[in-house]
Amino acid sequence: MIGKLENKGDYHTGPSINELGDSTSTKKSWPILAMASTAGLEKLSGLSSYFYQGQAKDETKTYLDGVYSHIVRGDVILVEQGNILMPSVVTMATVEKRDISDNSSPPINVPITTLIFSPAAKIGYGSDKAKIRIWFNARKAGVLERIPTATVKLTDILNKPRPITATTPNRLPLTNADIIIEDAEGTALSAKGHLYNSGSTTKVNITAITTDGFSGELVKPITFHWGLTKVTRGQTVARELLGDGDATQSWQSFTLAKSPLTYVTDPYAPNGRRAELAVWVNGIKWRQAQSFYGATATDEIYVVKHDKDHNTQIIFGDGELGLRLPTGPGNVIATYRFGVGGNVDAKTINRLVKPIKGVKSVTNPLPATGGEDPPTPEQAREQAIQSTRVLGRLVSLPDFEVEAARFGGVLQAKAEWAWDPVREDAVAKVWIVAPGPGDPSPDLQAYLEARCEPGTLVRVEKAASWGGPLFVDLEFDPDYLPDQVEAAVDERLYDSDKGLLAPRNAPIARSLFRSQLYAAIHEIEGVLAVRGLSYGGEQMPAAVPVPEGHYLAITKSGPYTITTLSPT
């Protein structure tokens, strides 16, 4: 790197150079050299005969305009022509006598310094020699220090292999691995990437960031976690004695001692959820069924039901629809897991229930995702109504939307027909709203493919959040308590289940109209008027369009501005 140095100390003002090398060097400091002296070119002969003109040959002699005994082999020099500065190193410096008589007799020999330097300066042919200077006599003027950056942008990491210090380099390479990127402040992102050994160095190449919505910077040092293990919440109850079988009873049932029953994602299970439950009768494992419909008198099945308090009942057949339980003392046993929901924060899972050989510690750099609380009775009724629209087979786009929304971890879905340019066929494309860093798309796609017509192409993608803050200016009726009216407006707009702007109901790739907000707010008793709406810091337009692949995520911008009319 070279440039001008305004030096007002002991040295002449002149060009400076910090290193004759790659500007991307990983060195932490470089000396700054200031050129204290200057020389011109020999002025008595044509430039083209004595100065390098850009040919491949580097060892062309350059004749100076006098004797400069301070220039010796190995010196760093700068060749200056106008605004161009070219660094070089002297490979030969001699004093020669030059005939300045223009071939007249007798010759007039004058001593001048002759240089060869490399790389040779590429001065334009025919340039005015008076405008060309050779700077020499380099002196140390200071040190250029590299100030390390404290943060890293995602663009500095994505698709740029970086050396790392690996704790287990002998277990590489890994391709398309799940990786968690964690910075010094605990911010963590999920990613995909490759890890490999390059000689004695281990490198990581992040190919994709799978965490949605992060646009900031990561604070150094950065830690990369791989070899991750997926875990699900739930405590195991082993071999719980449910009771005695009685062949004289139809629809005999038992209630599990612990609740709620744990369900895990399974694309091949009904609704994409599988109960973590196994039931044995007389030492034989019976099969869980969705219902007794279509069962025979010899089917060893049971059905799971939940009451409003989320207690779990195990129900057996009546001898016609499913086999009755055989009579026997203590012959019905269950092993299951209980505990659901609880999408805990990052770094809150920090201990094992029991030791595991080879495991020193556990942690969760990312918050837990995919957990759901048991549905309320109202939600269960709605899901039951929606399920009647599908009846186990997906045909229309609304079928895909209903079934996708019933899948674990999905709040809502939007389906549309699209074109697959690779297969040259129509594809049912389903966008889902699944807040959090987890992505149920692969499991949901397998689940939907198993339930649609053979040959139907299905693509499921997680919609990204898109939106800004909403500011509302309201006018209240003085006969109502402002706090209660404001709480009712909050519930109407932001309630996680019924709120107009909640992720469960927010528009996917379609517009939100200002009139919708006016109508929703005016439904609240005690609201006289909506005086104004501000979205993203500006007056809200008539419609807020949401781009493809996104869902609208509007947040509340501070408390409402409330005007209360005085009683007349």
Residue pLDDT, tens place only, 148-195 = 678 888 888 888 888 888 777 667 777 888 888 888 888 888 888 888
200: left (phi over 0), alpha (psi -120 to 50) or beta: alpha
**pLDDT tier at 19 (50, 70, 90 boundaries)?**
very low
Residue pLDDT, tens place only, 225-283 = 888 887 777 889 999 999 999 999 999 999 999 988 888 777 777 667 788 899 999 99
Asked if 175 and 208 touch (Cβ cutoff 8 Å), the reply is no
- Would you give the distance in Å from CA 36 to the centre of its chain? 52
CB-based contacts of 178, cutoff 8 Å, min separation 6: 190, 191, 192, 226, 228
CB-based contacts of 375, cutoff 8 Å, min separation 6: 383
The dihedral of CA 397, 398, 399, 403: what is its sign?
positive
Helix (H) or strand (E) holding 8: none
Secondary structure letter of residue 41 according to DSSP: B
pLDDT for 66: 85
- H-only helix segments in 197-283: none
**pLDDT tier at 334 (50, 70, 90 boundaries)?**
very high
Strand 284-289 to strand 301-306: parallel, antiparallel, or no bridges (unpaired)?
parallel
Determine the average pLDDT of the residues in 47-61: 43
Distance between CA atoms of residues 345 and 342, nearest Å? 9
CATH hierarchy code of domain 235-338: 2.60.40
Mean pLDDT of the chain: 81
pLDDT for 112: 87
Q: Which segments of 309-421 are extended strands (E)?
A: 312-316, 328-338, 412-420
Residue with tokens 């995602």: 154
Secondary structure of 191-218 as H, E, C letters: EEEEEEEECCEEEEEEEEECCCCCCCEE
The domain locations on the chain are 12-143, 151-225, 235-338, 377-441, 466-563
pLDDT for 45: 47
SS3 537: coil
**pLDDT tier at 118 (50, 70, 90 boundaries)?**
confident
Helix (H) or strand (E) holding 272: none
Residue pLDDT, tens place only, 184-217 = 888 888 888 888 888 888 888 999 887 766 778 8
pLDDT for 12: 38
Most confident of 39-43, 329-333, 425-429, 529-533: 329-333
Distances (CA, A) of 130 to 47, 137, 408: 10, 20, 80
Q: Which of 11, 3, 136 minimizes the C-alpha distance to 75? A: 136
Q: Is the pLDDT of residue 562 over 70?
A: no
pLDDT for 515: 93
Considering the chain, what percentage of its residues have pLDDT values greater than 90?
Answer: 23
Distance between CA atoms of residues 123 and 204, nearest Å? 44
Distance between CA atoms of residues 535 and 528, nearest Å? 21
pLDDT for 519: 92
CB-based contacts of 319, cutoff 8 Å, min separation 6: 250, 297
Q: Which of 53, 23, 71, 41 minimizes the C-alpha distance to 121? A: 53
Distance between CA atoms of residues 316 and 300, nearest Å? 9
Whole-model pTM: value is 0.55
Considering the chain, what percentage of its residues have pLDDT values greater than 70?
Answer: 80
Q: Is the pLDDT of residue 120 over 70?
A: no
Residue with the larger pLDDT of the pair 25 and 71? 71
